[in-house]
Amino acid sequence: MPQTNLQSSNPKSTKLIQRLSCAVAIAASLMPTAARCDEGMWLFNALPKKQLASKYQFEPTQEWVDHVMLSSVRFNSGGSASFVSSNGLVLTNHHVAADTLFKLSTAEHNYNEDGFLAKSLQEEIPATDLELNQLISIEDVTAKVNEAVKADMAPADAFKARQATMAQIEKESLDKTGLRSDVVTLYGGGRYHLYRYKKYTDVRLVWAPEAASAFFGGDADNFEYPRYCLDVTLFRVYEDGKPAKIDHFLKMDPDGAKDGDLVFVSGNPGRTRRILTSDAVEFQRDTSLPRTLNMLRRREIALQQYGLEGPEQTRRGRDDLFGVQNSRKAYTGMLAGIQDPSFIEAKRKNEQDIFKTLQADPKLAGLAKAWETIRDLQSKRRDMVLKSASLRTQLTGFAEKIVLMATEDTKPSAQRLREFRDSARQSLEQELFSEVPVYDDLERALLADELSRLAEDRGGNDPLVQSVLAGKNPRTRAAEIIAGTKLHTAQGRKELAKQGLEGIKNSTDPLVVLLRSLEPEYRKIREATEAIDEQERQAYAKVTEAKFAAGGDSVYPDATFTLRLSYGAVSGYQSKGKAIPAHTKIGGAFEHEKVHLQKDPWVLPKSWHAAKDSLNPDTPFNFVATADIIGGNSGSPVVSRDGAMVGIIFDGNIESLPGDFYYSDQQARSVSVHIAGVLEAMRKIYQAGHLADQMGK
Amino acid sequence: MPQTNLQSSNPKSTKLIQRLSCAVAIAASLMPTAARCDEGMWLFNALPKKQLASKYQFEPTQEWVDHVMLSSVRFNSGGSASFVSSNGLVLTNHHVAADTLFKLSTAEHNYNEDGFLAKSLQEEIPATDLELNQLISIEDVTAKVNEAVKADMAPADAFKARQATMAQIEKESLDKTGLRSDVVTLYGGGRYHLYRYKKYTDVRLVWAPEAASAFFGGDADNFEYPRYCLDVTLFRVYEDGKPAKIDHFLKMDPDGAKDGDLVFVSGNPGRTRRILTSDAVEFQRDTSLPRTLNMLRRREIALQQYGLEGPEQTRRGRDDLFGVQNSRKAYTGMLAGIQDPSFIEAKRKNEQDIFKTLQADPKLAGLAKAWETIRDLQSKRRDMVLKSASLRTQLTGFAEKIVLMATEDTKPSAQRLREFRDSARQSLEQELFSEVPVYDDLERALLADELSRLAEDRGGNDPLVQSVLAGKNPRTRAAEIIAGTKLHTAQGRKELAKQGLEGIKNSTDPLVVLLRSLEPEYRKIREATEAIDEQERQAYAKVTEAKFAAGGDSVYPDATFTLRLSYGAVSGYQSKGKAIPAHTKIGGAFEHEKVHLQKDPWVLPKSWHAAKDSLNPDTPFNFVATADIIGGNSGSPVVSRDGAMVGIIFDGNIESLPGDFYYSDQQARSVSVHIAGVLEAMRKIYQAGHLADQMGK
């Protein structure tokens, strides 16, 4: 499922290709882009107009572009969505909503498993901590940001100067416009754009189907195709206690997304790393991804073990487990993709070609040095990655932020660690002080595993490990910390944060004591990492220059969890010698259930069986297209030439998993729920006709 | 489940303590062993007679010792058992038998899940590849083995010379007695004993209950207590096509194992590492165990993913999955135990005390150097461990052995890699050329994962990795190798082996080509590892001398998957402030099922519910004792003072998991099925009264 989990910086999914990347193939040949494939996550202020015109004879008007941009919504928690009515309805994926469904659920009401329907506005339930963003404008601020950095600055100083200027720009914009203002680093540091968003923080749950329908086929079918998933959920945004009035929303086109149709995906791809040099890819292949996978597998096992303790534990851990399994499957495919020797070989050949172009031009020749800089930085990055001083649980995440914040708040906004700047404060407090459920037994299990991991990473003799374990084994130590902390309530976190630095220094809360002991090392590693980041940023700015020089205007920036437009054709593909058609039908869900003997996870909810006879079995249900997507695109509207909604992205197929590093349209596909299937299910299965009637109006 | 999987050298389980080890505590104080705890896996030719006399007023006669020894059986595949009738019945655990049950099963007959009953001798099914060993005699050959090694030999040469002498001793013994003859390295190299075994290779399946009863509570209950598992299976050994006539077998004592009773465990603990110096433990803690756990977790996930493909895949992968989950849980507990700073601290203090003893005696002072040698060897070991050139799947295991064997067979027996020596040939061929099922789809999935792991371990640019992947991604490469090999049949393996070295050199079988490319690096690593082993062996011989000097006769050797006697009392324990009684009753199984809402894995088989009313609910079912056990002890008979059978070991509790490194009897317990429960179930649930009647007679 494409969805970016920003907190862990582990995208909940990803996408694209089997063998050779289009980007690499094209850049390697340096040919014009006549037969170009449907690659690219394009900036709304730099769309690939030539390609669209030549391949699809489509020329978007500025009105079309603005309408699609303003109808698009970002879930700040990681995911995409769109406005689908004038009265504030927002359509996203069930798996993007899962975090909220989970937080609203209790042992009595399991909205994630059982679904939810508000029969009236009064029944709509406020989400605990959602922030939705609507992109309003984009401004290029590259010159201003680069001005801050002088040629003779040490990397750490340069990093700070750049951050300070970015924070300054954001603050001025916020003060002037009242809009959320983020400076976005594009092309790994080649460009800086200021994105202004309107924020919605009163977001209410309107309708969700059962998990068994949204995630039909479970982990087994995840990233597979054909699929039969109703992976959607409806929210509504409110302003001043009333449904917000929305000017730009999408019309519904249930007859769209026919085979071969051009479609657009407007969403927020979380992260791609296609700009990486071959040396940087090797670091990912040999160090970073294997380590990430080890961590994901250990978390998966830990959550499974926890779930064995009982049905309530299974429920408590399910959302996390689902996310982790999804990431693990995605990263496994990604790693296998870049372990393919032909990929790195093609990348190296492409680099050789670029070097030749550069050498031919004395003004450009110096740029090649950037590749050497990046190569040399990889071993430094390795040292940083292998030693971590962070613990990854919900409670340690809260505690880490509150402990850091206390010191950061004694500095001017522009000098703080980026997440503590004034312009981001409201979002941060929403995250820290919301009434989200914290389960002590789950925290205990995960903290024990994390303490064990810290000891493994740094070695048992490491002074930090010794201090953290305090002479006890990880399990005993975790139990005593969780039993003693007060940070599991929003109230407890608020009280601690209010006391500022003195409060942190004097606290005897064992979790605060723990995070305090980690803080110096955390800061050391963070500072060193930021210095490496800055040096890479400067180097990738040069790599980008070189690529623009070699590849003309066919260069789009890597994904940054900001709004992008992808395009492609609705199109099936070949797999293992078989033709996979582009569409599935709603009736196929019942056949799929039958083929799998109606065994978990292939059990459709009762509501489906009850409604079976009233459904039109030929209604399009899921479909695939060549559009270039990645984790974070989950919930993105799929839009027709006419700017109407034809579907909603919810996954990529297994062949799309290496898309983090390269794109191909040979077999890689984005997977969507067809809007006709959504409306049919709402009306016939879920008694949500009153909501279906509001959509598009 | 205590069971050693020798092939992978991952014990399927392990055992014993919470905080401070008895061994460490006692050695640290160097006090006499009056209040000594029930520690130790004692050699049958060096039993702890003083301790037994002083604590339990028990003095075993030689007749008693011989009877218990000769009634004990080793499953060469990893596990323990005993003769329980004069006509060849052998009782072991269901989970020791699982490998065989699994190999005998097909898509139609699932003996592992559904159980099996032979109503007559004719219906008993020959196992595919079992070898059972009965220990006949023990001889100390230390002087002879050490003679071979001269003081000035380089480690690699010393290793070879020692191996050659060991092989020579074994060959002479085999020729003279016709018995399987193994020289066993004890005390890490401090002693060498020659073990002679009678072998049984015609072993037939007689009765097995359903997996749901044997492994009631599944992975969730594994290593937990109280338990309600009928973890037993009956085999029968044959000679000349008839049930073997057995002189030494155990009588049944269904009234035994009362609270506080002294009991003995006679079995084959697989491996403990209590002799390790603190530096060697640190290597285990910071490098070896974390790496092993990462590999186990990745295999667990790979098997789970494979099982998602369908019920038949679930069946095919289940035995492996169960073994891996069991190991993962065991290693997790083991690692947590040695991550406890108090353990390593106590060990270091103990070493300081030994050093003091040594320094006080000029004849002993030189021994302290051994600790330095071991410390220096750990970093070398680390280099070896992190780079592997082995792939761990069933087929690559076969291929690796056949490829190595071809070269080894050109050398005299004494100079070969140990597993290829003449005296072990019969057992090796039994393993390589048996008709065991090989599932291509499972092999494909695991090989893809293993190729990926090799690339992660060695880095994608490593020439060996490049050659192994042959320009393809791991999944594609694995698929083409498995599709092309002929080694999945016994016939294919026999034919290849028959052709010898020329056949291997000229083979175009892709699996042979793969293993051929790994062979040079495999040999390089193996040779370097053996040189390290030899140096450690010499050093641990000195450590042992020092310990004997400091600790008197209270020193038993670490487990070596050879027959040992442990002892202890039937005794409950305290956990989380609650008293856990020593016994459970057969009626408790139904209550345990009810408490868990009869949800998987707490679903008793239909046979149990059908027989419920006829069962005596108060029959003892499972019980715990303080006896010192570890993986490999699975299936060990639990024997009374009178030398009668009172139970059969099947697990250790979670507190026993660090037992690989230290023992305690505070909370750590061995877990057994009571023989009364076994007989009651055979008679009332399984219509196996005719077999129950044979037992003990």
The answer for residues whose C-beta is within 8 angstroms of residue A655's C-beta and 6 or more apart is A16, A17, A18, A573, A575, A664, A666, A667, A668, A669
pLDDT (0 to 100) of residue A553? 59
Spatial contact of A672 and A285, defined as CB atoms under 8 Å apart = no
B308 close contact with A: CB closer than 8 A? yes
B295 close contact with A: CB closer than 8 A? no
Section B600-627 average pLDDT = 97
Section A526-540 average pLDDT = 93
Nearest to A494 by CA among A408, A418, A430: A430
Does pLDDT of B21 surpass 80? no
pLDDT (0 to 100) of residue A552? 63
CB pair distance less than 8 Å for A455 and B339: yes
Spatial contact of A10 and A20, defined as CB atoms under 8 Å apart = no
Does pLDDT of B187 surpass 70? yes
Q: What is the DSSP string of B369-393?
A: HHHHHHHHHHHHHHHHHHS-----S
Task: Reduce the DSSP state of residue A284 to 3 states and report it.
Answer: helix
- Closest-CA residue of chain A to B289: A456
A386 close contact with B: CB closer than 8 A? no
Does pLDDT of A529 surpass 70? yes
For chain B, counts of helices (H) and of strands (E) = 26, 23
Cα torsion B575, B579, B585, B590: sign? negative
pLDDT (0 to 100) of residue A589? 98
> How is chain B split into domains, by residue range?
4-63+209-229+246-274+561-694, 276-377
Of A329, A339, A448, the CB nearest to B473: A339
A11 close contact with B: CB closer than 8 A? no
Which has more pLDDT, B518 or A310?
A: B518
Cα–Cα distance for residue pair B226/B578, rounded to 1 Å: 12
Residue to mutate among B20, B340, B462, with most A CBs inside 10 A, is B340
pLDDT (0 to 100) of residue A206? 98
Does pLDDT of B283 surpass 70? yes
Of A282, A459, A469, the CB nearest to B461: A282
B165 phi, psi to nearest 5 deg: -65, -40
Does pLDDT of A25 surpass 50? no
Nearest to A639 by CA among A184, A58, A197: A58
The answer for residues whose C-beta is within 8 angstroms of residue A421's C-beta and 6 or more apart is A167, A170, A171, A413, A414
Residue A66 per-residue DSSP state: H
Cα–Cα distance for residue pair A648/A675, rounded to 1 Å: 7
A490-500 tens-digit pLDDT: 999 999 999 99
Cα–Cα distance for residue pair A386/B290, rounded to 1 Å: 14
Chain B contact set for A337 (CB, 8 A): 473
Does pLDDT of A7 surpass 90? no
Section A99-121 average pLDDT = 92
B374-400 tens-digit pLDDT: 999 999 999 888 878 899 999 999 999
- Closest-CA residue of chain B to A463: B341
Above pLDDT 90, what percent of chain B? 81
Does pLDDT of A411 surpass 60? yes
Residue to mutate among B314, B332, B467, with most A CBs inside 10 A, is B332
The answer, as to whether pTM is greater than 0.90, is no
Task: Reduce the DSSP state of residue B508 to 3 states and report it.
Answer: coil
pLDDT band at A577 (very low <50, low <70, confident <90, very high): confident
Q: What is the DSSP string of A523-583?
A: HHHHHHHHHHHHHHHHHHHHHHHHHHHHHTT---PPP-SS-EEEEEEB--EEETTEEE-SE
pLDDT (0 to 100) of residue A366? 93
How far lies B194's CA from each of B131, B161, B165, B428, B562, in Å?
Answer: 19, 17, 12, 20, 11
CATH of A4-131+201-274+557-694, one of 3.10.20.30, 3.40.190.10, 3.40.50.720, 2.40.10.120: 2.40.10.120
Section B76-89 average pLDDT = 96
pLDDT (0 to 100) of residue B552? 63
Spatial contact of A398 and A432, defined as CB atoms under 8 Å apart = yes
How far lies B624's CA from each of A99, A211, B21, B60, in Å?
Answer: 44, 43, 19, 23
Could you give the ipTM of this predicted complex? 0.84
Q: Average per-residue pLDDT in chain B?
A: 91
B441 close contact with A: CB closer than 8 A? no
Cα–Cα distance for residue pair B688/B697, rounded to 1 Å: 16
Does pLDDT of B545 surpass 60? yes
Task: Reduce the DSSP state of residue B482 to 3 states and report it.
Answer: helix
Spatial contact of B205 and B125, defined as CB atoms under 8 Å apart = yes
pLDDT (0 to 100) of residue A8? 31
- Closest-CA residue of chain B to A288: B456
A272-286 tens-digit pLDDT: 999 999 999 999 999
pLDDT (0 to 100) of residue A34? 33
b/e for B593-624, b at 16 or more Cβ within 10 A? beebeeeebbbbbebbeebbeebeeebbbbbb
B17 close contact with A: CB closer than 8 A? no
B220 close contact with A: CB closer than 8 A? yes
* Residue in the block written with tokens 């996310």: A323
Cα–Cα distance for residue pair A449/A298, rounded to 1 Å: 8
Nearest to B445 by CA among B504, B403, B394: B394
Task: Reduce the DSSP state of residue B665 to 3 states and report it.
Answer: coil
Does pLDDT of B29 surpass 50? no
B496 phi, psi to nearest 5 deg: -65, -45
CB pair distance less than 8 Å for B282 and A459: yes
pLDDT (0 to 100) of residue B4? 41
Above pLDDT 70, what percent of chain B? 94
A134 phi, psi to nearest 5 deg: -115, 120
Cα–Cα distance for residue pair A209/B566, rounded to 1 Å: 59
B117-176 tens-digit pLDDT: 999 999 999 998 899 999 999 999 999 999 999 989 998 899 999 999 999 999 999 999
Of A301, A328, A339, the CB nearest to B328: A301
pLDDT band at A1 (very low <50, low <70, confident <90, very high): very low
Chain A contact set for B466 (CB, 8 A): 341
pLDDT (0 to 100) of residue A382? 92
Does pLDDT of A435 surpass 80? yes
Cα–Cα distance for residue pair B571/B234, rounded to 1 Å: 27
* Residue in the block written with tokens 């996979």: A580
Identify whether A226 is preceded by a cis peptide bond (ω within 30 of 0).
Answer: yes
Q: Which H or E run includes A670?
A: strand A670-674
- Report strand pairing: A132-140 vs A191-200: antiparallel
pLDDT band at A556 (very low <50, low <70, confident <90, very high): very high
Instruction: Report the 10 Å Cβ neighbour count for A28.
Output: 18
What's at A106, amino acid-wise? Answer: T
B415-457 tens-digit pLDDT: 999 999 988 898 899 889 988 899 999 999 999 999 999 999 9
Q: Average per-residue pLDDT in chain A?
A: 91
Of A309, A344, A473, the CB nearest to B340: A473
pLDDT band at B36 (very low <50, low <70, confident <90, very high): low
pLDDT band at A635 (very low <50, low <70, confident <90, very high): very high
pLDDT (0 to 100) of residue B8? 31
pLDDT (0 to 100) of residue B13? 32
pLDDT (0 to 100) of residue B1? 43
Cα–Cα distance for residue pair A660/A330, rounded to 1 Å: 10
B574 close contact with A: CB closer than 8 A? no
pLDDT band at B67 (very low <50, low <70, confident <90, very high): very high
Distance from CA of A469 to the nearest CA of B (A): 8
A243-271 tens-digit pLDDT: 999 999 999 999 999 999 999 999 999 99
What ranges in B203-288 are assigned the alpha helix state H? 211-214, 218-221, 278-283
- Closest-CA residue of chain B to A217: B308
Of B286, B342, B475, the CB nearest to A459: B286
Chain A contact set for B329 (CB, 8 A): 305
Section A138-155 average pLDDT = 93
Does pLDDT of A415 surpass 70? yes
Nearest to B622 by CA among B597, B589, B598: B589
pLDDT (0 to 100) of residue A4? 41
Chain A contact set for B332 (CB, 8 A): 452
Distance from CA of B360 to the nearest CA of A (A): 30
CATH level 3 topology of B4-63+209-229+246-274+561-694: Thrombin, subunit H (2.40.10)
Does pLDDT of A77 surpass 90? no
pLDDT band at B108 (very low <50, low <70, confident <90, very high): confident
Above pLDDT 90, what percent of chain A? 81
Does pLDDT of A447 surpass 70? yes
CB pair distance less than 8 Å for A473 and B282: no
